[in-house]
Structure 1
Amino acid sequence: MTAQFNSQPSTPYSQLLKEYWGYDNFRGIQEDIINSIGEGKDTLGLMPTGGGKSITFQVPALAKEGLCIVITPLISLMKDQVQNLKKRGIKALAIYSGMSRQEIIVTLENCIFGNYKFLYISPERLDTEIFRTKLRKMNVSMITVDESHCISQWGYDFRPAYLKIAEIRDLLPGVPVLALTATATPEVVKDIQARLCFRQENVFRMSFERKNLAYIVRKTENKTGELLHILRRMPGSAIIYVRNRRRTKEITELLINEEITADFYHAGLDDATKDIRQHRWQTGESRVMVATNAFGMGIDKPDVRIVIHLDLPDSPEAYFQEAGRAGRDGNKAYAVILYAKSDKVTLHKRIPDTFPEKDYIKQVYEHLQYYYQMAMGDGLGCVREFNLEDFCRKFKYFPVPADSALKILTQAGYLEYTDEQDNASRLYFTVRRDELYKLRELGEDMDKLIQIVLRSYTGVFTDYTFINENSLAVRSGLTRQRVYDLLIRLSKMRVIDYIPHKKTPYIIYTRERVDRQHLQISRSIYEERKERYEARIQAMVDYVTTETVCRSRMLLRYFGEKNEHNCGICDVCLSHRAETPELSSQQIKEEIKELLRKQPLTPADIASQIEADKEIISQCIRELLEDEDLKAENGIISLKA
């Protein structure tokens, strides 16, 4: 099914689209998906990046009574979409890491009593007792699962937390599910529907072809020189993807030294820094964003003219999503990979890093017990802060394979290794309330801050309470830095115990510690996933090394889409065109006449049978008609008798 614009707005869905978004028509398969989920059918929508996925659940949810739960792993997308919905006068909320328990309870209560239309939530939150308790009281109209390929072990980005969605469905019998993804192979499409317990298979596919996007592989041993050459030649907003955090900073410094405005972005930055840099780039204040794959999902900037990969992604799925962030406005854009011979070796090296030997994984598990001094049989339900760098230093591991080992142990069900979680600041008063009032000479600012804390939060004398320094700054009229400095001072005076906001990964034991020899890592968790990973890497190598097949066709074929025509704008197509000598106008005219001697044809039929620029062919047809060598009737061209 290919993208096209539908006609007259007539349905209630069309009216909602016009009222809230200002659009007259749906695009592509949007309306088909909306009608399907609106009729209560479990639905899977395959739409490439920029295809307008959010409209497919936001419009039908507005048409239904009740709340739409949107499950997504992308905090940036949650915040962005909640903000956009609020601007349109639509009530929406989100729950994500970093919120205090009280904030979560208030949000869930609002979903029950506040007539809200959307709740965005990460898959990890689905398994909490508080969420499941409150969920039973909510009037849920539909469930939307974004990035739904994450539920499939056949997919490139499997996340165990997604498997909990099927359990949520049990709590909400009869509530339909809309699954959405921009990248899925045919086997992943089947697996998504099975794991989400679809009542029957129901898939809508939008063509993944991007006619305005030119895929280019540039072979070079001087990547930075080539990068600068491209950016100087081509104006407009750009994203540069690199493999690790260190490289984001290095490349940004290089660009700034060359007077190209740039910022860098990766998962290790705090939220405030990410927001500032994203805003600078989106407004055009900064031309280039140099980033790891943490950047891009859910970010709506339609006028990106070029996406450049300095390092090879490890799957066509990841590449297709990242490249697809260029040219979402429909204008000509470029997706460029800079490829050196050493990249192939580097890419294959990721296999043992991502799937270290089973004995190595078991050793990491054992050393984790020593790290936490965990006795045999203990552990179930224990939550521990985890510092990968410290762990690797103590037990002499390299971070990348150790990180992979912990992720495989997560897949195998022995523990849950979370990514960096935002932990809100906490404080608790170590003095009694009556002692607090006896304190003298704390100063005007300190007194004011203490009063604001006591008025804003309860239970601060009995336990740690989550606080928000920004909120305290606004209420007190002090700067955020001043609030922080005062809290540190109070902590040093032993009036409070203050734990500032930080990002911390966690290890959560999902079962008791077992002996190393009893550790089971099944074939489906290890060997089968490793084989699929190797196949994805090989597909990526084939993509960059092939010089005879249209790049767009290669990508489309990988996703199960049969495309019989070349794109005409990738580097392979352009090189073939350069090898074919251009026909003169006179030669083209003779070929047109030769074709028409056999039978009358439409202009499109003529153009499809002559190897030449379509505009030149059209011009030749016009000239032949003007010279009265040809005649045209009802769109059919024939030779004049």
Structure 2
Amino acid sequence: MRNTQDGYLLIFVTLYPYGIISGLQRITIIMISTIHQILARYWGYSAFRPMQEEIILSVLSGHDTLALLPTGGGKSLCFQVPGMVTAGITLVITPLIALMKDQVENLKSKGIPAEAIYSGMTPREVELAMNHVLHGQARFLYLSPERLLTERFLTALEHIKVGMIAVDEAHCISQWGYDFRPPYLRIAELRDRLPGVPVLALTATATRKVVNDIQDKLRFSQYHVFERSFERNNLAYVVSRTENKTDRLLRICTNVKGSGIIYVRNRRKTREVAGLLARSGIRADYYHAGLDPREREKKQDAWKSGSIRVMVSTNAFGMGIDKPDVRFVVHLDLPDSPEAYFQEAGRAGRDEKKAFAVLLFEEADILDARHNLDLSYPEPEFIRRVYKALGNYLNLVPGTGRDTTHVFDINNFCNQYDFKPVMAYNSLKFIEREGFIVMNEAMSTHSKLVFNARKDDLYRFQVEHAAFDPLIKMILRSYGGVFSEPASISEAELGQRLSIPAETVTQLLTRLHQLDILTYVPRTDKPQITFSSELIKAEDLRISPQFYHERKQEAVQRLDAIINYVSTSNRCRSQMLISYFGQSDSRRCGICDVCIERNKANLSELEFNNILEVIKPMLKAAPCSLKELTNACPRISEEKVINAVTWLTDNDKIDVVSDGFFRWRSGNEDQ
């Protein structure tokens, strides 16, 4: 008998009503029963989504496992459910701080203790979180990758029983992935310290090359992949080449009922497009990462509740927002990669009802996309200049700054050092990807505080410093648990209850912070930068020319793939996307713009392929007349052969030569 921390007893039964079963079968039956109980008790679901159960059983059996599940496929349950079964804590490594905070709050709301440690937290907050972990008061510990192998964490790790390691956004570990992050490479070092602990890696987007690289980098004992088909039978992909995006967008928002998301590249455009829609009578709003946190939350809630129908946003919107009834997602600018597009478009139709993913583009967009890619890779020497200027701007000297957080105004920074904002921003993003800094924008929605002084010491302080006594008493009455973990507070509410201005509350709390009575973290609406490591000399910032070139070439190839996607008008959109990720056995979706055009030819996929199989070699060998083509297909009606030839001509697969003969267009091999 094995006793789990959740209180479930895994009893190894010896009897089975239909005969003798093996020990492995008994264990599997018990595991299945247990994980279904946990799913129902904590998440309220009666059944798992496709492949979740298999993934969970795999990791519970001790196998290193890679799970490829499309956006909205329920990746988090694949480690949260087994984390409730295994003895010991589950380490969850993810680069998405906002998503990390959301999941920790969601777990706590279900009565499951969880903690998170990420760049931007105060030393006191980190200390309290680690104390909860060390004292067995957490089942899950979420970590950002740059905090994973700090000396403090590694020391604590010696006293923590770890049952499982979950690596979310696992494509970040691959240098061939679209969002490679060097700190992820150090995850494998944990395996030396935690022998025998299984790893569950999860991602929604990975090519064959990346799938293998993930398993190699994480030192899988053997390749072990669970992969759901990337097919979305209810999602109609549409590409529309148009010089009037505004008119096309208005028609989509008018004709397609229900809620939608419109993705644009920059913040200014979010406001402009939302304003245009609102003036046309469509309930629309805009969203980007630079908004006040409370405003972002308010906009999200309005969209999720349906009071706002359409959200116009940068790619900051959608991550972790589970709204199943999104009927359309429109991209007004070219995405950087098929991975990014597949993830964003996949936020439509999660309820498995008909939905649309529409990409509007014109030729100028391709030139803009290539230009933006060049801007995304400033020259290494310029990146070093920006890094040196950053240290000077924040008054840091080499060897200092680790784990410090600074308010950062990029416009002021660029004005002071005469940088172009887009070049400086992309340089900072490159420095962030290398693991030196973390950029965030107003991570906290409220001010926070926690008492450092013990209760008896605090009482003596109140007696000796009467001016602080009313505020301290009010905090203790208003907020619970402020000696054990940070509490979100409102200076305005405290001031109202004490009949003093909020500014006075802020001043008193700041003074108490300086006296080390409590730790006070004022809310900020400004972007921040946290140093993940000590500032080094700019000339020591190593940027390998070969590595830099390889990274840029990978980005060029991904952009070429998305350009090919929008430029191709003769292959099923779903098949194109799915084949990019290495799944080649899919059928035509029948509902994308390409398939609908082909359907107009009144041909089934089998009929079309049979005709193509006969006439394509003929047309490649020499020009042929329509009569020759129809005669070559005696078992297929002449009308259907003519329909196929017409479709191939309309979609630029074959040319009509001057004497009325047809020939296959040179270099055009795709169906």
**CA–CA distance in structure 1, aligned partners of residues 509 and 131 of structure 2:** 34
Q: Tell me which residue corresponds to 1:91.
A: 113
Task: Name the structure 1 match of 2:597.
Answer: 575
Match of residue 496, structure 2, among 466, 478, 489: 478
Percent identity, aligned pairs only, is 48
Partner of 2:49: 27
Tell me which residue corresponds to 1:422. 443
Corresponding residue of 2:67: 45
* Aligned residue among 508, 518, 537 for 2:531: 508
- Which range moved further: 482-491 or 259-268? 482-491
Q: Residue 345 and residue 514 in structure 1: after superposition, are their counterparts in 2 closer, same or farther (change >3 A)?
A: same
Determine helix, strand or coil for the equivalent of 2:142. Answer: strand
- Stretches of structure 2 that go unaligned for 5 or more consecutive residues are 1-28, 452-459, 480-484, 605-639, 642-671
Displacement of 1:277: 1.7
Residues 1:374 and 1:145: Cα distance change in structure 2 (over 3 Å): closer
Whether 1:284 aligns to 2:302 is no
- What's the counterpart of residue 204 of structure 2? 182
Match of 1:227, SS state, is helix
In 2, distance between residues paired with 1:417 and 1:64? 32
Matches within 5 A, 1:21-170: 21-96=43-118, 99-170=121-192
CA distance in 1, matches of 2:138, 2:196: 20
Q: Distance in 2 between matches of 1:247 and 1:487?
A: 39
Partner of 2:583: 561
1:336-369 CA-to-partner distances (Å, cap 9, x unmatched) read 1111221111100112211122343344345446
Q: Distance in 1 between matches of 2:529 and 2:92?
A: 25
Cα offset for 1:372?
A: 5.7
Q: 1:284: Cα distance to partner?
A: 1.3
> Which residue identity lines up with residue 418 of structure 1 in the other structure?
M
Report deviation, 1:560: 0.5
Question: Residue 234 of structure 1: CA displacement?
Answer: 0.9
Deviations along 1:589-612, whole A, 9 cap, x unmatched? xxxxxxxxxxxxxxxxxxxxx99x
Report what 2:560 is aligned to.
Answer: 538
Instruction: Quote how far apart the aligned CAs of 1:83 are.
Output: 3.9
Question: 1:281/1:97 Cα in 2 relative to 1: closer, same or farther (>3 Å)?
Answer: farther
TM-score, with structure 2 as normaliser:
0.74
Per the TM alignment, residue 98 of structure 1 is displaced from its structure 2 partner at its CA by 5.4
Cα separation, 1, equivalents of 2:276 and 2:31: 51
Q: CA deviation at 1:140?
A: 1.7
Deviations 1:475-516 (A, max 9, x none): x48379976333356699999899742244326384664474
Task: Give SS of 1:225's match.
Answer: helix
Offset at 1:525?
A: 3.1
Shift, 1:540, TM fit: 0.8
**Cα separation, 1, equivalents of 2:217 and 2:156:** 24
Distance in 2 of aligned mates of 1:505 and 1:493: 23
Matches for 1:251-270 after TM superposition, within 5 Å: 251-270=273-292
Give SS of 1:157's match.
Answer: coil
Distance 1:115 1:237, change over 3 A: same
- Counterpart amino acid of residue 163 in structure 1: L
Deviation at 1:307, TM superposition (A): 0.7
Give the C-alpha shift of residue 48 in structure 1: 0.3
Amino acid aligned to 2:153: F
Q: 1:494 to 1:170 in 2, by over 3 A?
A: closer
Sort the Cα spacing of 1:522 and 1:61 in 2 relative to 1 into closer, same or farther, 3 A.
Answer: same
How many residues are treated as equivalent by the alignment? 561
2:256 corresponds in structure 1 to 234
Secondary structure at the aligned position of 2:116 is classed as strand
For 1:505, the aligned partner's letter is Q
Scaled by the length of structure 1, the TM-score of the pair is 0.78
Greater shift in the superposed pair: 81-90 or 253-262: 81-90
Secondary structure at the residue paired with 2:285?
strand
Q: Which moved more, 1:83-92 or 1:275-284?
A: 83-92
Q: Deviations over 1:39-94 (max 9, x none)?
A: 11111000001212122112222222222222222334334333443444433333
Q: Distance in 2 between matches of 1:390 and 1:467?
A: 32
Q: RMSD of the alignment, in Å?
A: 3.8
The structure 1 residue matched to 2:270, chosen from 220, 244, 248, is 248
With over 3 angstroms needed to count, the CA separation of the structure-2 counterparts of 1:492 and 1:319, relative to structure 1, is closer
Task: Give per-residue Cα distances to partners, 1:175-232, cap 9 Å, x unaligned.
Answer: 1110000000111111211222222221111111111100011222222222111111
Kept after mapping to 2: 8 A contact 1:473/1:480: no
Q: Deviations over 1:558-588 (max 9, x none)?
A: 100103421110011111222x1589xxxxx
- Work out the CA distance in 1 between the residues paired with 2:412 and 2:499: 29
Q: Contact 1:304–1:326 at 8 Å: present in 2 too?
A: yes
Structure 2 residue matching 1:290: 3-state secondary structure = strand
In the alignment, what sits opposite 1:360? Answer: 382
How far the C-alpha of 1:327 sits from its partner, in A, is: 0.5
